[in-house]
Structure 1
Amino acid sequence: MFDLDRFIAECEEAVRGGDGQRAVRELVARAVSEPGAVLRGLGEPKRAGLNTLYRSERLTILNLVWGPYMTLPPHNHGMWAVIGLYTGREDNIFWRRIEEDGASRVEAAGANALSAGEAVPLGKDIIHSVLNPIPRLTGALHVYGGDFFRPGRSEWDAETLRERPYDAERTRALFEASNATR
């Protein structure tokens, strides 16, 4: 069975070591290798949400539940991350920053599709957008090497792809809008 308290303690220990992201990736991969155990430990997702499981200066652990067909526009984290899916599917589009007419915007640079049981690391400079391409909820453990909610992050407008300051409330509203359409 997935034990959240033990998982948090192991992740905290991992970030105190030399290569925190690599060690956390192994922990997340081990956890999601048994998706049913994570489902039992966290509970079956009932609604889309950005659910904080743990938060400190060194580490944030989120249970992200993507609504059916939900899309999150391009954004950065400014810290490494590890994503592990325990149900559903998560498609990531990776973006690169370009300067155009004195403004920062992004252009697509790659993609990756994740299914339940898979875990991947993201570097601290990665810009990505997320799509749940299936008609049901998708659940994922997202572990970040810092305080995910600290200021200083960016997001890019979905239509113009122009950079703007990250707005946590706008992101929460996207999750709530997804719940309203279900």
Structure 2
Amino acid sequence: MFDTDQFVSDCLDAVRADRSHRGVLEVMQRALADPAAVRAAFATPQAGVLAPLFRSDELTVLNVIWKPAMAVPPHNHNMWAVIGVYDGREDNIFWKRLPDGRVTAAGAQSLSAGDVVPLGRDIIHSVHNPVARLSAAIHVYGGDFFADGRSEWDAELLIEHAYDLSVARARFG
């Protein structure tokens, strides 16, 4: 059985023992070994949502519900992240910054229920839910996800601009 409070506590213990993502990755892998238990711990989602389960300067834990066919343009976090999908799919495209500030695709990874992936501090990625239903994941960040200072790239022109949290939240609504 997955317990959200215990998961958050285990993540906090892990990050306090080692500021890198390694301990949180192990916590997430244990939790996502049974994605059905994680899914059962949350109410059945009815809509897209970016729901904080925990937030501090050292750690943010989010329950992320992706709307069908939802896409988020390239963006950075300026902190490490650990992503664990517990329902549906999450397709990530990884980008590399060009000298002119734009980005170009550099790789991709598709995550299904039970998959866990760490993202380094400097990763730029975009996310797409390729299925015709809601998809769900837990995202853990090594800092305050909602703090200023991040960037996003225009989906069409791939030009960098400041990340706008209100625009990001509206995508989920």
TM-score, normalised via structure 2 length: 0.97
Number of equivalenced pairs:
173
Instruction: Give 1:86-101 correspondences, 5 Å limit.
Output: 86-100=86-100
Of 171, 174, 177, the residue aligned with 2:171 is: 174
Q: CA RMSD in A?
A: 0.9
Q: Which runs of 5+ in 2 are unaligned?
A: none
**Which aligned pairs between 1:128-139 and structure 2 lie closer than 5 A?**
128-139=125-136
For 1:1-182, list aligned pairs within 5 A.
1-18=1-18, 20-100=20-100, 104-176=101-173
Deviation readout 1:43-63 (Å, 9 max, x if unpaired): 222210111110000000000
Matched-pair identity in % = 57
Q: Distance in 2 between matches of 1:70 and 1:150?
A: 23
Shift, 1:19, TM fit: 5.2
Counterpart Cα distance in 2 of 1:91 and 1:164: 23
Equivalents in 2 of 1:45, 1:99: separation in Å? Answer: 41
User: Displacement of 1:95 after TM fit?
Assistant: 0.3
- Counterpart residue type for residue 121 of structure 2: K
- In 2, Cα distance between equivalents of 1:132 and 1:159: 18
Instruction: Tell me the amino acid that sits aligned with residue 50 of structure 2.
Output: L
